[in-house]
Structure 1
C-alpha cells in the first residue's frame, strides 16, 4: 500500500516529488470529460518513469492477437483504445538546458486535483544542473462544458539569475501504446499545417478513424501578450517556439487551447470546420473564464451525485474521488460509447467494455443521472445483438442464440484468454439483469417491448443450448465454465452461473407473459420474426424446473462449484502477508488449486437475488465464503460491504467500504500504476447507498434500511427515482429526507412507510 495522498475533502494532493512512484501518481491525477482524457503526465519533458497516455473514447485499433497456442474460436484481435495525439507537450530550455525533473533538484513540489472544479494543478521549484532555479505553476482542464476541447496554462519564473528561456509547444502524433502486441504504431500521418493555428491530422490503421487536432498557443512575457513564436513542422509533429530573456523574478506564461475532433462524431469533410469553431469558442475566453465555466459544469454534476460524509475525511475524499472519476469517464452522451475498466487512466484492458458496466456501473447512473444515460448503456448492448449472435455462432451455437462478449468495443469478442473468452459466460446474465434492473428502477416498460425482450430471447437461447442433461443427476448441468471468481477455471456447475442462467430463462418467460397482456400485437410480430415457438418456451421451463444448483446441506451453503469442498479450506487470515497479492507471488497452478476466492462469486448471486433468500441463508454463505476471499479483484469489496451491512456486520461493512473507496488512492493491490479501477468505483457508491443506506427497489417502491459507521457524524446523498429526486441524510441519532421534486412519493424508510411531500423534512 501507499499512503502519501494528503487527506482532503475536495482535493487529491501529492506534496512531494516521488520519482519512483510517478506512474502511480499519473494514474491518480488523470482527468477527462467523457469524450477524451489523459493520465497525469508532466507537460515538460521527463526522462524518468512515466507512461504517456492521452485517449479518445471510441477510437480504437484491432491489435492482432498474440498467443502461443491458437485455439479454434479465438478472436483475431484485441481491440484497444489508442494512445492519441500528445497535445500537452512542452520542451523547455533554460540557458540551453532541457528542463527535466528527473535531472533537477526538486523542492516545493505539489500536484493537486481540484475535484470540485475539475482542474489539475501542479507547482514546483527546480534547480537545474547549471545552478539556475525556476518556479513553475501549471493548470490543466479537459472541458466538461465543451467536450471536444481542453486547455492548459503553464507559467515559469526565474528565481536566482537572469536566464535565456525557450518554450516549444507541440502536437505529437507519433505516439505508441505500451501494450502493443507487436510494437506496432497504430497511427498514420495525414496532414500537418502551421499557417495559423497548429494543425495535425492523423488516422488509425485498419479502422480509419480520422482525428484532427487544432492548437492555439498564446505566449505572455512579463505579463504581456507576445506575437506568434517560430513555427515548424515535420511528419506527425508540429510546434511553435518562443524565446525570451528573463531577469530575476520575471516570468513567461503559455496558454494552450486545443480542439480534438474525430470522424467517430463528425463527417470527414466537416472536421476542420468543427475544430476551428470549437477552438475559436474557447480561445476567445480568458483562462479565468474557462476555469469558471468548468467549475459551473462540475457544480451541476456534484449537485446530483455528491455524497457528503461528516466526521471522516479519508472516507469523504475517497467517495468523491470515485464519483469524480466516474463522471469524467462516462457522461451518457453517446450510446456507441461505454465504460472501460480503466477509463482514460491507462492502457490495461484496452479501454474496452466488460460486464462490469451492467453489474456495477448501471445502478450509479440510474440513481444520479437522467434516465437516458442508463438507457444508453442498455442501447449499447442492444445495438450489438447481431454481433452477440455471431459470437455465439463462432462457438457452435445456432438458432439466434446470443453470447455477448466478455471484452469488446464494437460488439465483437476480442479477448483471447480461453478461460475468459469461452468460459466466463456469466456475463450474459449480467446484461439480462441490467435490463431487469433498469425497468424496475425507471418503470420504462416500453423498453422491454422495443429492445429488451429481443435481447433476453437471444440470451435465453444461449443458456438453453449451453446446458446439458445429466443422466447421472437427472438434472441439467453446466460444464466447463469460469465464474466471477477467476481463481478457478474450467469448473463444472458454478453455482452463480447456473443460478443466473435459470433466472434469465424465468425472467424472459415472465417478460413474454407481461407483453402478452400489454403489447400483444407487437409481441406476436417479434415472436414471429424470431421464430420463437411454444415448444422452445416449454424447454426453457423444463430447464428452470430441473437445473442442478450445487449445495452442501450439512453447512447450509451453496457450493461455488462441484468439488469445492475437496480443497483445503485455510482462511485468508492464516496466509503470510508477504505472499499477498497472490497473483503477484504464487504460480497460477497453485492459485487454481487453492480455496482462495478472487472476488464475490456465490455472494455475487446473493447480492443480485437477495429477495429470493432469507437472512439466515445469506448469513451462512457470507460466513463461509468471506474468510476465503482475498479481494484481489477490485469488484469484490463493494459486494461484501453491501451484504455485511444487510447482516448487521457494521464494522466489516465499513472495512470493506474503505477498501473499495481507497483502493486506488492507497494502492491496495499494488497495481494502480496501470490505471484506476473505474468500474469498481461505482461499487464504492453502491457500498454507501445500497450498503449503509440499504436502498432497494421492491414492488415498485424505494426501501431504505440505514445504519451509520460509528466514527461518522452523518452521510447524505441524492437519488433520482421515477421522476422524483430525494435528498437523504442519515445522522447518528436522526435522519432527514427532502423531496426536491414536484410530486409526492411514498417510500419505506427503516420499516416505516412515509409519504414524502415536496420539500418534506423529518
Structure 2
C-alpha cells in the first residue's frame, strides 16, 4: 500500500512510500514514483526484474513511427536500470524467501528514489539491501544508481549483473534498428540505437564502480550488453555498486541547428560520463538535490496548514510531476498526457497542456510557459496543412501532436465495441476541434499575466490570426435561422460525438474571432512594422472584415429561461436520462462501457467530463465576461445541472468542478473533489496509474489550491483574489508571477497578506475591492461558511 507519513524531520510531508512488496502493484508504483528532469523520464521499475513490470526510459522529442499502420509515438529506449542479483548461483527476487522491513520511498524534495529491506533466502541466509537512484536536474543527461548488499548471518557467493538492455519495446512495437553494443574494459558499457523511421540516434553509456574486487564476466546478447561481478561476502561485510549512465540523442539542443551524426552523439555521452564519474554517487546526488532546491522548491513551493497532512503532500506531488515531465529546456517539445511516466497516449500533447498544465507555469515560471507555447507555434505549418486537407483555411491544430511538423497523430481506432465486438473508431483527431481555440486562449492568458509583447510579436499574433481564419472557414450557414453554426464536432465531453453546436466549441471559436479582431485593431494602430509583416503574410485586412461578419452572426447557445442551463449541444437536454448512481460510485473510470457502446452513450444524458463548466470558468477570465454575462447565478445553475450527469471519467474533470464549486462556496464538495483529484494517482487504487500518471489531473491539484481555494484569478480588470479556504485548511502560502514581479501570498482564515520586493504600486482586486500593493498589503478576511 501507499503510505504518506514516512517522511520525518525536514522531509515531513515530502515522501511517498510503498510499505510492502506486492507483485500485483508494480506498475502503479513505477508510474507514481517515476523520476525525470524534463529531458528524460525514467519509470521506477525495480533493479531486479519481475513478470508484469513495465520498464520505460523516454527522452522527450524522439518520436518515431514503428510501422506505417501505427501513429508516431515516443519510443521506449534501452533499459539501463536492471541489475540482477544472484545468491549462491540462484537469481534473487522478492517472490521467494522472506522479506522484512521493506520500504520504497520517493522523496519529492530530493527527487531521489530509495529502497531498503532485509531478505532471507530459502536456505536461511539473510541480507540487507539498499538501492538508490536519481535522474539528475544538475546534469540532465545523467542517471545515477547505487546498490548496497550486506551479508548479515552467513557467508555467500554473490553476483551482480548490470546491463543496457535494448530488447525493450513499446508494448510490442519495436522502434529501433538492431543496436550496436560495446564493452570497454571491465566497467564501461556502450549501446547505440537508431529509430527506424525518424532516424534519431541515441547513445547510452554506463560506467560501474564496485567497492570490492571481483571476478568479471562480460555479457553480450541480441540487443543487450552487460557485465557481471562475482565475489564472496562474509557476515557483516557490505559491497557497493555505483552505476552512472549518460544519455544523448542526435536531436538534443547541444547539436542545434543541424543535429549530429552518430559518432558525435556517442562521443558526447562518453565525455559527459568521464566528467561526472570523477565524483561519487553521493556527491552527484547532492548536486542534483541542490538544483531541485534552487530551481524548483525555492520558486514553487506551497505551504498548506491542513487537518490532513496528505493535502500538503499532494500539492508537492503535483509540482514534482509537473517538473519532471516538462521539457523546459527545449521549445521544440510539448508535454505528453502521461508526462514521461508511461506509454499511455504515446507521449502526445493534447489540450491538457494549454488548459490544465500551462497555467501553473504561466503563473509560476513564465519562461517555461513561453517555451510550451512556442512549441505550438512551431506546429503552425502542420496545423495549416491539416486545415487544407480538411477543406478549411487558416490553422487547424492537431488533436494529438508529437513532432511539431508531424501533423495529426491521433490513432484511428481504439477500444473494442462492447456490442458489436469491432474496434471502435477514434473520432477525436477528425472532429474534436476546440483545441485550436484553446491554444488561442492560452496565448491570450499568457500575455495578460506576463505582458510579454515580444512573444506576441514573434509568435502569438500569427497563431491567433490564423486560428481565427480556421474558425471563419469552419462555420456553416443556417439559412433558416440566419446564423453561423458548427456541426459534427466533439466538445470536451467525449461521450457526445457528432453533435451540432457544442456550446464550448461555439463560444470558444467566438472568443478566438473576437481576440483576433482585438489584436488586429491594436496592431494596426500601435505597431505598424509587425502589422505590415503579418498583413503581407496573412492578408489581415481582408480577413478582419470576415472575422467581424462571422462573429456578429455565430450562434452562441443561450441559457434556458426557466433554469439558466446552457444546452451543451443541440440535443443534449432532450436526451433520455438513466440512473447513473453506480457509475458515479465506480472505482475505475469508464465502467459505463461495460453496459453501453459509444452510439448508445451518445443518446443519453451522461457526460464524461467538464464541458459547459470549463467554458464558464475560462471565459470569465477574458474580456468577454461582461458581454456574455456569465454571472455567479448562471454558473451555479449549470453546475447543479451538469455535475450530477458527469461521471468524471476523464481525470481532468474534477479540477474544473472543484474550482467552480469554490466560487460559490460549496466548500465541502470542492474539498472532496480536491481529494478525489489527488487520489487518482496518489491514492490507494492500484490500477489507476498503470499506463502512467495523469498530467492534467496532477496539474489540477495545484490549480484547485491556487485558483480555487486561494481564489487567485485573472479577470478583465487584472489580478483578483477571493479566498474560500475549505474548512479543513487553516492557511496556504505560495508564490505567483504577475507581470514581471513575484508576489508572495499568505492566506489564513482571518487575513490575506501579499508582498513583493519592489515598491512599484500594483492594483489587485481582493474580495471585489481594488487595493494598491506596494511592498506588503494585508487585508482582513472572514472565511466562515459551510
TM-score range (shorter-chain normalised) is over 0.9
Report how far residue 435 of structure 1 moved: 0.8
Matched with 2:264 is 270
Q: Any idea what SS the aligned residue of 1:663 has? A: helix
| TM superposition score normalised by structure 2 | 0.90
Change (3 A) 1:496 1:708: same
CA contact (8 A) 1:310 1:714 kept: yes
Q: Any idea what SS the aligned residue of 1:460 has? A: helix
Once the two structures are superposed, what CA deviation does each residue of 1:231-254 show, in whole Å capped at 9, x if it has no partner?
A: 343443222221111112222210
CA contact (8 A) 1:13 1:112 kept: yes
Report how far residue 755 of structure 1 moved: 3.1
Change (3 A) 1:747 1:229: farther
Once the two structures are superposed, what CA deviation does each residue of 1:57-97 show, in whole Å capped at 9, x if it has no partner?
A: 1112113365xxxxxxxxxx412111112111112100000
Select 1:623's aligned residue among 598, 616, 640: 640
- Whole-Å separation in 2 of the counterparts to 1:546 and 1:669: 50
The question of 1:35 aligning with 2:31 is answered no
Matched with 2:544 is 537
Once the two structures are superposed, what CA deviation does each residue of 1:299-334 show, in whole Å capped at 9, x if it has no partner?
A: 121111111111221111111111100011115110
CA contact (8 A) 2:39 2:59 kept: yes
Query: May I ask how many residue pairs the two structures share in their alignment?
Result: 739
CA contact (8 A) 1:45 1:99 kept: no
Matched with 1:169 is 162
Once the two structures are superposed, what CA deviation does each residue of 1:400-441 show, in whole Å capped at 9, x if it has no partner?
A: x21111111113111134420111001111111111011111
Report how far residue 6 of structure 1 moved: 4.8
Change (3 A) 1:262 1:582: closer
Matched with 1:71 is none
Matched with 1:587 is 596
Write out aligned runs for 1:513-528 (5 A): 513-528=521-536
Write out aligned runs for 1:26-105 (5 A): 26-46=30-50, 48-64=51-67, 66=69, 77-105=70-98
Matched with 1:368 is 364
Q: Any idea what SS the aligned residue of 2:310 has? A: helix
Q: Any idea what SS the aligned residue of 1:121 has? A: strand
CA contact (8 A) 2:300 2:319 kept: yes
Select 2:330's aligned residue among 330, 334, 339: 334
- Whole-Å separation in 2 of the counterparts to 1:272 and 1:159: 42
- Whole-Å separation in 1 of the counterparts to 2:153 and 2:479: 86
Report how far residue 345 of structure 1 moved: 1.0
Report how far residue 720 of structure 1 moved: 1.1
The question of 1:10 aligning with 2:19 is answered no
The question of 1:731 aligning with 2:735 is answered no
Matched with 2:237 is 250
CA contact (8 A) 1:449 1:522 kept: yes
Q: Is 573-582 or 454-463 further displaced after alignment?
A: 573-582
Report how far residue 609 of structure 1 moved: 0.5
RMSD over aligned CA atoms reads: 2.1
- Whole-Å separation in 2 of the counterparts to 1:405 and 1:293: 40
Select 2:146's aligned residue among 153, 158, 166: 153
The question of 1:751 aligning with 2:746 is answered no
Gap regions ≥5 residues in structure 2:
8-12, 413-425, 780-786
- Whole-Å separation in 2 of the counterparts to 1:394 and 1:242: 58
Matched with 1:135 is 128
Matched with 1:682 is 699
The question of 1:218 aligning with 2:228 is answered no
Change (3 A) 1:272 1:743: farther
Q: Any idea what SS the aligned residue of 1:726 has? A: strand
The question of 1:184 aligning with 2:174 is answered yes
CA contact (8 A) 1:449 1:519 kept: no
Q: Any idea what SS the aligned residue of 2:116 has? A: strand
CA contact (8 A) 2:102 2:116 kept: yes
The question of 1:403 aligning with 2:396 is answered yes
| TM superposition score normalised by structure 1 | 0.93
- Whole-Å separation in 1 of the counterparts to 2:639 and 2:686: 23
Gap regions ≥5 residues in structure 1:
67-76
Write out aligned runs for 1:490-505 (5 A): 490-505=498-513
The question of 1:392 aligning with 2:396 is answered no
- Whole-Å separation in 2 of the counterparts to 1:163 and 1:355: 56
Once the two structures are superposed, what CA deviation does each residue of 1:697-749 show, in whole Å capped at 9, x if it has no partner?
A: 23463210012111222111111111211111111223332214564533222
The question of 1:347 aligning with 2:340 is answered no
Select 1:260's aligned residue among 228, 247, 265: 247
- Whole-Å separation in 1 of the counterparts to 2:410 and 2:214: 51
Matched with 2:738 is 721
